[in-house]
Amino acid sequence: MATLCRPAIAVPEHVITREQTLSLARELHAGHPQLELALRLIANTGVQTRHLVQPIEDTLRHPGLTRRNALYEAEAKARVPEAVHRALEHAQLTPEDIDMIVYVSCTGFMMPSLTAWLINTLGFRPQTRQLPIAQLGCAAGGAAINRAHDFCTAYPRANVLIVSCEFCSLCYQPTDLLVGNLLSNGLFGDAIAAAVVRGQGGTGVQLHHNGSHLVPRTEEWISYAVRETGFHFLLDKRVPGTMADLAPALRDMAALRGWDISDLGFYIIHAGGPRILDDLSTHLGLPPTMFRYSRATLTERGNIASAVIFDALERLFQDGGADHAASGVIAGFGPGITAEITLGAWDATGTSDPSAVQALAQAPV
């Protein structure tokens, strides 16, 4: 049975605080008729710090799509390899052991994908399969885990490397002045994550079941408008309320394994914003502390798109992990509105025989 091993997280060295963000918003948008509302929304995100791939003075400039995308490619090539090497070390594997690379990003474009460059540069075999995912936004981290799980189910001895590279700051558009855009300017951050799904062996989350759920007729609620200046992020004010639709989907998926979604050992949830976590806590009848890793990611990194769930999972590892065989859920939410959901159990032993973990995971936590 496939196991999601410990992720490696890398964040850029340039940091902006909430106070700096609010000060910049006051300075840049002094005459905005809804400035006070935007400031209040930014302050309520809970984001204290974010990491940016450029200094803030460069981030606020718009040199054009060509130069921005060139910067995306250069920074990805400079920063991704170190995270990849650490993720492989966590999984006790080498590049030659990897059978597929899943690369997720919604903040820049490359063709061929960065997967080709990684294979040519870092010693992966030419036969390594490539799966780039570019249009699932924040849900792509969950989709990457699920597609890796599917691959390892089809090829039980295979190993899959997942790479998430999100430079959200490169999508800043100084002419977008809707309140939702001003909010996003104070919410999103930059980060890289890498993790390995091992078909056999490895410690971490033993993957049992995965699935997707799309909330009907919400495809315009989170989207990109592609214009001459690049990607323009569109965010509908109804997005925070979508947990009323997605919480039942989580509950139904857990029930397929005979689990109670409100009685699991760990929860790794995409931290799109504080209301997402607050509403999910209410709908699932969970104490807020069950989402502490996701909240820590939001506070210290902001919304780092598809990398959120890997950052939150790394915090669980840092905390010593869950109890052996404790059942849990990983869920990423994004455009669609789409949920990518993974059910699994904590395996602290790296056993090649999953029967003991499976049996224990059926019991209430």
The torsion of the CA quartet 194, 75, 21, 229, rounded to 10 degrees, works out to: -120
Q: Where do we find the tokens 């948008």?
A: 29
In the set 138, 165, 168, 171, the catalytic residue is 138
Q: Give the 3-state secondary structure of 125-156.
A: CCCCEEEEECCCHHHHHHHHHHHHHHHHHHCC
Burial 337-358 (b: 16+ CB within 10 A, else e): bbbbbbbbbbbeeebeebeebe
Structure tokens that stand for 67 in this block: 């130069």
In the numeric block, which tokens belong to residue 15? 């940091």
- How far from 293 is each of 75, 90, 220, 242, CA to CA, in Å? 27, 20, 29, 21
- The number of angstroms, rounded, from the C-alpha of 115 to the middle of its chain's C-alpha atoms is 18
How many CA atoms within 13 Å lie on the side-chain side of 352?
3
CA distance 23 to 182: 13
Query: 3-class SS at 43?
Result: helix
Coil, helix or strand for 301? helix
Nearest Cα residue to 235 out of 142, 335, 135, 108: 335
**Pure H helices in 123-263:** 140-154, 179-185, 243-255
Q: Which of 340, 32, 9, 335 is nearest to 176 (CA)?
A: 32
138 is catalytic: yes
| Prior bond of 132 cis (ω within 30°) | no
Output the six-digit token pair for 107: 């903040």
Task: Report CA Rg, the chain.
Answer: 20
What positions carry a catalytic annotation? 138
